[in-house]
Structure 1
Amino acid sequence: MGAAVVLFTRDLRVHDNPALAAACAEDRVVPLYVLDPGLADISPNRSRFLHQSLADLGERLRKRGGDLIVRNGDPVAETIRVARDTGAGTIHLAADVSGYARRRERRLADECERHRIALELHPGLTVVAPGAVRPGGGGDCYKVFSPYHRAWSKAPWRSAAPTPERITLPDGLSPGHLPTLPAGASPHAAEGGETPARRRLAMWTSNDIEGYEDAHNDLPGDGTSRLSPYLRWGCLSPLAVAEAARSRDADAFVRQLCWRDFYYQVARVFPKLSTEPLRPAGDRDWRHDEDALQHWRDGLTGVPIVDAGMRQLRDEGWMHNRARLITAAFLTKHLGIDWRLGVAWFFRWLLDGDVPNNSGNWQWTAGTGNDTRPYRRFNPIRQALRFDAEGVYVRRYVPELKGIDGAAVHQPWRLPEPERRGLDYPGPLESHRDEAVWLRD
């Protein structure tokens, strides 16, 4: 009887998982996840979300007669060891684009060749595979979103992979076990796993998706899907989400999935997206101001809309997309602090933090990335008045300002002296050149 290993990475699901479906063509299947100690301490939030997702995946596999085989160590060495121990002739893996993932693929390919084991890479992390559409003239990837979106919209989508009904493990294989669930740093972080992901998707497509175009920038209404952590870990198939959105004529939401694919095709040819500017001319003499950086991290800049976003990040391991734009622009364009420090802080907290989208969007905001208007600036007060007109979002995350009514919460420094003096809230940072001017405009 033949056997195959499917190495799970960021495709932690049984529905529409091409690598798993291909492995199930063999008589025996080894669903494997290797906990890499080198990645264990990157983010407590993501570690917790990952372990919840793995526990849920294991339960779904057991319902089909299988199990999740868990090993700890170097992913390549452990995968080869499991394949040799079970007599597997093939290893199946979802193709990825980050520098770490590409190095892992190359190392695994070398070891598979040495041990005469076949390695098969599969799609599944995006709607349209990175590199499937390319610009004319021989370019490796699209640098601008609009032409990519036009090409992406015409590209055929693959057929969904069948969900396995039955999985048979090789005899005598010890499943191993997940360590104790690690503590997360954010008290109100979402729960990981395919089960809550599919529940969230069903609720979103049934109730909220049709209003997405009008509501997705509304900060207090929170009209976003909150599916991004589940997409980042592959608890949901991006293709399945796109098909669900398309079936409801939610073109604005499908466009956001296209943005996600856009940065994956960028990261495929520019894996150092987190550390090197895509547009070197946009990099500049960034200011070193540790005090201002720490105030930004702590949500104590004195600009309520910025502080609300940064505190939501710490509380939930997630931040509204409009708030991400405002907080990133404030750090880079107003404080003049290096975007790479913002990338690192978001990676530290975000459940959905990944190289393509976290880093790509930071570079877009900083003016070093894929933006046709790299010198644009965002006035945070105008953004606040437009997208949180009555200050509901700010008061939700900045309790010091709960006693201020309406839009006045966005500019507490304009309150009468007695009211301002009674606030336990800092005044706006004015250490960055003469940037206090925009606060008075």
Structure 2
Amino acid sequence: MGTKGKTIICLFRNDLRIHDNEVLQWANRNADFVLPMYIFDPRHFGGTYHFGFPKTGPHRTKFLLESIQDLRKNLKIRGSGLAVRKGKPHEELKKMIDMLGQSSVHSVVFHEEVTQEELDVEKSIKKHCGVNIKTFWGHTLYHSEDLPFSPSQTPDVYTQFRKRVESQAPVRKCLDMPKSFRPLPEGVEEGEIPTNKDLGVEDPVTDPRSVVDFLGGESVAIDRLHHYLWETDAIATYKETRNGLLGADYSTKFSVWLALGSLSPRHIFWEVKRYENERTSNNSTYWVLFELIWRDYFRYVAMKYGNQIFYEGGIQNKNIRWKQDKQFFRAWKEGKTGVPFVDANMRELAATGFMSNRGRQNVASFLAKDLHLDWRLGAEWFESMLLDHDVCSNYGNWLYSAGIGNDPREDRKFNVVKQGFDYDSEGDYVRTWVPELKNVHGGSVHIVWTLSRGILEKAGVTLGETYPNPVHVAPEWSRHYSKASGSGGARGGSSHRPQKGIDFYFKGGNQRR
């Protein structure tokens, strides 16, 4: 127990949960009053660093607000609450400390972040608040103190990282949380949770084609985990289904809740281990953990390289002449490139805030390797749009896709036509999201620009009018033209290696340059 009458302020950021939360656990052990706070920083709702896209777009904002509402509800159930404010965190914290009386505030406590904007916030809090600041590590599967190397010595190849942590680092048990929490200090008004409009963000339109009705918050996150493991056993076939494009359960979708910390990676790990003990243990159950390790890896890479992950030349410091063609970029982001597999994925992102990992790899490769556009255009657009945007995973994977990151293989490029045939062989996914092609049958929808005038007329398609001509045609695509039968898909070309981060690939968090 701390001194009688002492208050500890818990600042929530990307850790919007009660389970496995060391900040909350420590505060409730060491204070008479605990004040959980969430501060909406206006800088998170401004523009991205280079290109001025809305940093937190409509889907992300709605999901964040739902997550805050759920956190407040769950805190109240345990006898606590959540104070909500809007402003720069250090300023709002200082106002709260002054209101409570500086002598009565024992500490401000929060989970550490690793990238510059978040670190700047932490620095300002330490400089201006005038009270003890305590921090904890709480975003990864493997604790930073348990790594068999310092974060600055993180291997530059994922496989090396994975093998070392799997063999030499423990996964800590989830923390036991108290069933009831210390009360709020007297006189604190919790404040209203804002709306999208209050934050200057449009309301998103719900699209019935969304693979999941994504709702924010720890409660939904826990339900999703239970559903994927215990209700459906979908985890037992994850490795076979994870490259899917349609449906709720082809992949875990955990990344959406991991992004805001509504789901603890350790909780996922130990639930998977329990599932393996009680039901089945196979390549699929392991592969979910494999993906969680990818998520850790990019956080430690971000710690190692700092702001280099945001540089044009990436962590390899390559000098590549990227283009910033506005017309090409607009076609990409609006799903109007004339390449149906790319367009379908980009339209799904715009409509729902989500896209499969298979889609993300393809659209990223198309932007960087086919159109040769500045990869940061793609990274900032994903930052704005993705429900599961996480700065470390997003930028780490864009560097990977652009060939300036942690990929040990030189010149990796996705053949988006072959990928369309391989993963959407009948074209159902494309027709779902590109309805102007709904009458083009079978896999031939992936190469609509090669079809005869008669077939196009029968399907009601006029290239350049009802659907665009392709902005780019890569020479390697032609190897697959003859294999597009009316109902089948092409095969052949390079064999598929397991791609990294299939489910936790690009994911959610705070804003970036």
| Contact 2:137–2:144 (CA under 8 A) maintained in structure 1 | no
| Contact 1:283–1:368 (CA under 8 A) maintained in structure 2 | no
Name the amino acid aligned to 2:45.
A
Q: Distance in 2 between matches of 1:16 and 1:8?
A: 14
The equivalent of 1:267 in structure 2 is 302
Map residues 250-329 of structure 1 onto 2, 5 A cutoff: 250-272=285-307, 273-329=309-365
Q: Distance in 1 between matches of 2:421 and 2:156?
A: 32
1:34 aligned counterpart, secondary structure: strand
| Contact 1:16–1:240 (CA under 8 A) maintained in structure 2 | yes
Map residues 126-137 of structure 1 onto 2, 5 A cutoff: 126-130=140-144, 132-133=146-147, 135=149
Superposed displacement of residue 318, structure 1? 0.8
Q: Which residue among 246, 266, 269 is the counterpart of 1:239?
A: 266
Give ranges in structure 2 of 5+ residues lacking alignment.
47-54, 208-212, 480-513
The equivalent of 2:45 in structure 1 is 40
Superposed displacement of residue 303, structure 1? 1.0
Map residues 46-57 of structure 1 onto 2, 5 A cutoff: 46-57=60-71
Q: Distance in 1 between matches of 2:474 and 2:173?
A: 54
2:153 aligned counterpart, secondary structure: coil
Q: Which residue among 184, 201, 212 is the counterpart of 2:225?
A: 201
Q: Distance in 2 between matches of 1:288 and 1:9?
A: 33
| Contact 1:279–1:369 (CA under 8 A) maintained in structure 2 | yes
Q: Distance in 1 between matches of 2:337 and 2:99?
A: 56
The equivalent of 2:204 in structure 1 is 185
Name the amino acid aligned to 2:323.
R
Q: Distance in 2 between matches of 1:161 and 1:277?
A: 40
Deviates more, 1:274-283 or 1:215-224: 274-283
The equivalent of 1:437 in structure 2 is 475
- 1:61 matched to 2:75? The reply is yes
Map residues 348-427 of structure 1 onto 2, 5 A cutoff: 348-421=384-457, 422-423=460-461, 424-427=466-469
Deviations 1:322-380 (A, max 9, x none): 00000000011111111011101111111111210111111101101000013111111
Q: Which residue among 206, 210, 218 is the counterpart of 2:244?
A: 218
Q: Distance in 2 between matches of 1:281 and 1:274?
A: 11
Deviations 1:371-424 (A, max 9, x none): 001311111111111111111211111111221222111111232212224312
Superposed displacement of residue 437, structure 1? 2.1
Superposed displacement of residue 132, structure 1? 4.2
Superposed displacement of residue 267, structure 1? 1.1
Q: Which residue among 7, 10, 13 is the counterpart of 2:14?
A: 10
The equivalent of 2:108 in structure 1 is 91
TM-score by length of 2: 0.80
Superposed displacement of residue 205, structure 1? 1.4
1:89 aligned counterpart, secondary structure: strand
Deviations 1:248-282 (A, max 9, x none): 33110100000000000011132322344334454
CA separation of 1:11 and 1:139: change in aligned 2, threshold 3 A: closer
Name the amino acid aligned to 1:32.
M
Name the amino acid aligned to 2:228.
W
TM-score by length of 1: 0.93
Superposed displacement of residue 135, structure 1? 4.6
Counting aligned pairs with the same residue, the percent is 33
Deviates more, 1:363-372 or 1:88-97: 88-97
Deviations 1:161-198 (A, max 9, x none): 22232221111211112123444435246211111111
| Contact 1:4–1:83 (CA under 8 A) maintained in structure 2 | no
Q: Distance in 2 between matches of 1:134 and 1:371?
A: 22
The equivalent of 1:147 in structure 2 is 160
CA separation of 1:280 and 1:80: change in aligned 2, threshold 3 A: same
| Contact 1:14–1:164 (CA under 8 A) maintained in structure 2 | no
Q: Distance in 2 between matches of 1:201 and 1:439?
A: 39
2:128 aligned counterpart, secondary structure: helix
Q: Distance in 2 between matches of 1:169 and 1:177?
A: 16
Superposed displacement of residue 153, structure 1? 1.3
CA separation of 1:364 and 1:304: change in aligned 2, threshold 3 A: same
2:310 aligned counterpart, secondary structure: coil
Deviates more, 1:158-167 or 1:60-69: 158-167
CA separation of 1:279 and 1:3: change in aligned 2, threshold 3 A: closer
Deviations 1:31-86 (A, max 9, x none): 11111111124222222211111111111111111110112211012223323433
Q: Distance in 2 between matches of 1:386 and 1:355?
A: 30
CA separation of 1:212 and 1:289: change in aligned 2, threshold 3 A: same
Q: Distance in 1 between matches of 2:439 and 2:184?
A: 60
Q: Distance in 2 between matches of 1:29 and 1:93?
A: 13
The equivalent of 1:23 in structure 2 is 27
Deviates more, 1:396-405 or 1:4-13: 396-405
Map residues 335-354 of structure 1 onto 2, 5 A cutoff: 335-354=371-390
Q: Distance in 2 between matches of 1:140 and 1:4?
A: 35
1:440 aligned counterpart, secondary structure: helix
**4+ residue segments displaced more than 4 Å:** none
Q: How many residues align?
A: 433
Superposed displacement of residue 283, structure 1? 4.2
CA separation of 1:334 and 1:276: change in aligned 2, threshold 3 A: closer
1:223 aligned counterpart, secondary structure: coil
| Contact 2:316–2:404 (CA under 8 A) maintained in structure 1 | yes
| Contact 1:11–1:235 (CA under 8 A) maintained in structure 2 | yes
The equivalent of 2:93 in structure 1 is 79
2:162 aligned counterpart, secondary structure: helix
